[in-house]
Amino acid sequence: MTVINPPQPETVIRPPSADWRMLSQAAGDHALPRGADAVWDRLVGWIENKRPRCRRFLRRAAAICETEKTLSDLSEARLRERIETLRQQFRLNRARAEQVDEAYALIREVSARQVGMRPYPVQVAAALAMEDGCIVELATGEGKTLSATMPVVINGWRGRGCHVVTFNDYLAQRDAEWMGPVYRFCGLSVASIHGEMPPDQRRAAYHADITYVSNKEVIADYLRDRLGVGPVQGLSTALLKDMAGDGGPGLRRTVMRGLAFCLVDEADSILVDEAVTPLIISGQAPNDEQVATFNEAAEFARQLTVGRDYRVNQRYREVELSGAGKKRVAELTAASHGVWRGRRRSEELITQALSARELYHRDKQYVVDEGKIVIVDEFTGRLMPDRTWREGLHQAVEAKEGLEVNPPKDTYARLSFQRFFRMYPKLAGMTGTAWEARSELWQIYHRPIVRIPTHRPCIRQHQPSRYFADQGSKWEAVVEHARRLRDAGRAVLIGTRNVRNSEQLSVRLTEAGLEHQVLNAVLHRQEAQIVAEAGQPGRITVATNMAGRGTDIKLGRGVSEAGGLAVIATDVHESGRIDRQLFGRAARQGDPGSAVMFVSLDDEVIVRHCPWWIKRWRAVKGRFPVHWLVNAAQRKAEHHALFQRKNVLKHDHWLDENLGFAGREG
């Protein structure tokens, strides 16, 4: 197993008067603070998020934009000369704050000439906050891609490499091509990385001044490089061995040139939502006996009865065998050989098979595509064909579905998303929804949040949430509401929690005679066309969360006059950020629009996370303020998810403390 950067001494938390960036640099690869240090750290984070940074950035942005008339009169040759002069200052690390402002003004002029878009003052303010190492909340549709060009250019000028990390390969390639003319005019090279790229092309892409790459690709490349270098003491040792000629091909096989500056697009999704699962580099380990065992476990599990033989905890997604269940397992496996001879191992295998049956459902947590189990991202609704569940769960699901069971793979290296991004000396991010995660983003990454106002006032109409006793009445109301909006000439986007709900709603809409389009993980190949047509008058689009990011719904003729895009949320999600992302699809850039939430008391989040005392109160009194119920369930879900993500990072450090024998890089 490759050990990645063993832990350093525990983080020293400085008083609030210290520069917060010193805290973030100290965080680095340290373990999370504990006890009194953790309490102090949270207090510092609360203070840092309360500081009025936004006003300062807006004032600087206004001053930068005032130079527009002067710069617009410059010839192209003169503009290039001024850019080259500044570039040399940044390359030599001599640039001051006023030169950052001058650079932003020049890049703003270049953007107008090269791509026909001149950043608004709020976009410039967002760019200043990113250069300051903050995570910026800029509303959906406000132009984050263009804002990113300014901090990316000046960090590219510094010559140490700049990574722009996006959600997937498509966005990485699209944004690199879209903003490429700006970067090249500023004397910088730009490249993007995708999953099928060979090592030599990856190496060239990482050696460009600016590299657009997805979060999964950049972490996988880092892990592969560490494996290629081998179990050495650190970078300095590897370099000395390479110079001495006895280091083998390790360093010559690496594709990355180091970690300097990282700008994370959709930061809340990548740094928070995606961080619940570590990235693992693994290899094939054929084992016919293991494959047969998973099929046998699935067959044994079918003979157990819920309630009598085992219990299911939906909140914590756990299955536990009862005393009677353990006796039943012993009876079922008595005649079997191999691993079934061990009582504990037998119970573990059957519990895993029961978890696959009770907690992992087709068209919800996964889909079957061309005879293979493909995981569905529950936050975005997108397919994740490059991921598998660990510890035999993936094989248990394959056996449950009656598919060919692939043997588990051997793990070569693993790394959590949290730990990887903490390694960057300079980290910034941008997203449309970060405020709800401000505490976690500080605790894990020591990044403060800066909320930037919209360029034009948002006129979205948030209608009161509508509550129903059961899902049947909720879906009927959703169909009727969609009919009224369609008849009024509005464009309608209905957000669902998972593939199953989207298809059930599609059946109801069809029965009601309402023409519509469905966008989910099963129909993801038609995404571009469906999203392009979603803003047309009278159009109804049913979508999982995958419609919320990296796409833009353009309003058709007459839709604005009719009231704009109407968003209907049909489920409460584990995080309020996800609900807000869906609502952010409506009323972009000053357009009209509306949003409403339809909730039933048997929705999954409420059933799984509603506190027991509220359920008992409702049973006794017969009534309870429903919005309190929903908010309590959502807060409980968010707390549970945070606990899981912290455990992923803690597990990384536990592995180092217990299995790390390599010395620390000096």
Query: For 131, which DSSP code?
Result: H
351 shares a domain with 302: yes
Q: Which helix (H) or strand (E) holds 280?
A: strand 279-283
List per-block mean pLDDT (blocks of 10 residues) for the chain, which spans 666 residues.
32 35 50 85 92 94 93 94 94 87 96 96 97 94 93 96 91 94 97 91 96 94 84 59 60 84 93 84 76 91 93 85 94 88 91 94 88 81 78 91 87 86 95 91 94 92 90 95 96 90 93 91 65 88 70 86 95 86 87 94 83 54 66 84 82 68 40
* CA–CA distance, 636 with 633 (Å, rounded to integer): 5
Report the number of secondary-structure helices (H) and strands (E) in the chain.
28, 21
Both structure tokens of 301: 């599990």
Q: Please report the pLDDT score of residue 251 as a whole number.
A: 64
Q: Please report the pLDDT score of residue 1 as a whole number.
A: 30
- Please report the sign of the dihedral spanned by the C-alpha atoms of residue 533, residue 536, residue 541, residue 546: positive
How many CB atoms are closer than 10 A to CB 616? 10
Going by C-beta distance under 8 Å and a sequence separation of 6 or more, which residues neighbour residue 223? 2, 4, 279, 281, 413, 414, 415
The boundaries of the domain holding residue 526 are 459-602
Going by C-beta distance under 8 Å and a sequence separation of 6 or more, which residues neighbour residue 75? none
DSSP states of 15-80: PTTS-HHHHHHHHTTPPPP-THHHHHHHHHHHHHHHS-HHHHHHHHHHHHHTTHHHHHTS-HHHHH
Residue 224 sits at φ, ψ, to 5 deg, of: -65, -40
289 shares a domain with 271: no
Check: CB of residue 177 under 8 Å from CB of residue 127: no
Give the CA radius of gyration of the chain: 27
Q: Please report the pLDDT score of residue 305 as a whole number.
A: 93
Q: Please report the pLDDT score of residue 93 as a whole number.
A: 84
The residues facing 376 across adjacent strands are 383
Check: CB of residue 422 under 8 Å from CB of residue 29: yes
464 shares a domain with 371: no
DSSP states of 293-361: HHHHHHHHHTT--BTTTEEEETTTTEEEE-HHHHHHHHHHHTT--GGGGSHHHHHHHHHHHHHHHHH--
298 shares a domain with 232: no
Coil/strand/helix, residue 642 = helix
Both structure tokens of 254: 């690496």
Instruction: Domain count for the chain, please give it.
Output: 3
Q: Which helix (H) or strand (E) holds 239?
A: helix 235-244
What is the domain-level CATH number for residue 346? 3.90.1440.10
Check: CB of residue 189 under 8 Å from CB of residue 208: yes
* Cα-based distances in Å from 475 to 174, 567, 597: 37, 15, 12
Domain assignment present for residue 611? The answer is: no
Q: What pTM was estimated for this model as a whole?
A: 0.83
Domain assignment present for residue 654? The answer is: no
Check: CB of residue 599 under 8 Å from CB of residue 610: no
Q: Please report the pLDDT score of residue 359 as a whole number.
A: 92
351 shares a domain with 442: no
Q: Name the packing angle between helices 393-400 and 288-301 (round to 10°).
A: 60
Domain assignment present for residue 614? The answer is: no
Q: How many alpha carbons lie under 13 Å from residue 374 in its C-beta half-sphere?
A: 17
92 shares a domain with 48: yes
447 shares a domain with 471: no
Query: Order of strands across the sheet with 261-265?
Result: 190-192, 210-214, 162-166, 261-265, 426-431, 135-138, 449-452
Query: For 490, which DSSP code?
Result: -
Q: Are strands 540-543 and 491-495 parallel, antiparallel or unpaired?
A: parallel
219 shares a domain with 130: yes
Domain assignment present for residue 304? The answer is: yes
* CA–CA distance, 389 with 393 (Å, rounded to integer): 6
Domain assignment present for residue 199? The answer is: yes
* CA–CA distance, 109 with 77 (Å, rounded to integer): 13
Domain assignment present for residue 526? The answer is: yes
Coil/strand/helix, residue 536 = coil
546 shares a domain with 490: yes
What is the domain-level CATH number for residue 597? 3.40.50.300
Residue 126 sits at φ, ψ, to 5 deg, of: -60, -40
Nearest to 5 by CA among 658, 656, 646, 659: 656
Q: How many alpha carbons lie under 13 Å from residue 126 in its C-beta half-sphere?
A: 29
Both structure tokens of 29: 């690869």
Q: Please report the pLDDT score of residue 331 as a whole number.
A: 92
436 shares a domain with 378: no
57 shares a domain with 203: yes
Domain assignment present for residue 26? The answer is: no
Domain assignment present for residue 608? The answer is: no
Give the residue from 544, 570, 602 where a domain finishes: 602
246 shares a domain with 134: yes
Both structure tokens of 125: 């303010």
